[in-house]
Amino acid sequence: MNDIQALLPILIPLVLIEWTLAIVALVHVLRHPNYRFGNRIMWILIVLFVQFIGPIIYFLFGRGEHE
């Protein structure tokens, strides 16, 4: 239990960054119809279920051109 408490100052910011990235990526997926690869359902699943790296993958490879 003491090990977890010692790691909390590191884990809390990481969790907040992860949630923020996921929410921003999910909002972007839902609002924009154009994707470089795949479709909306695929990107929603990647953003939600591939922890921490999923939103980064979307912003690097999935986000389409601006309308």
Tokens representing 27 are 């909002």
Structure pTM?
A: 0.73
pLDDT on residue 61 = 82
pLDDT on residue 67 = 45
pLDDT on residue 65 = 66
pLDDT on residue 13 = 92
Q: How far apart are CA 14 and CA 30, in angstroms?
A: 24
The mean pLDDT values, 10 residues at a time, for the chain of 67 residues are 83 90 90 84 88 83 69
> Residue 27: what are its φ and ψ, rounded to 5°?
-60, -40
For residue 41, the one-letter residue type is I
Q: Count Cβ atoms within 10 A of the Cβ of residue 18 and give its class: 0-12 exposed, 13-18 middle, 19 or more buried.
A: middle
Q: How far apart are CA 53 and CA 29, in angstroms?
A: 15
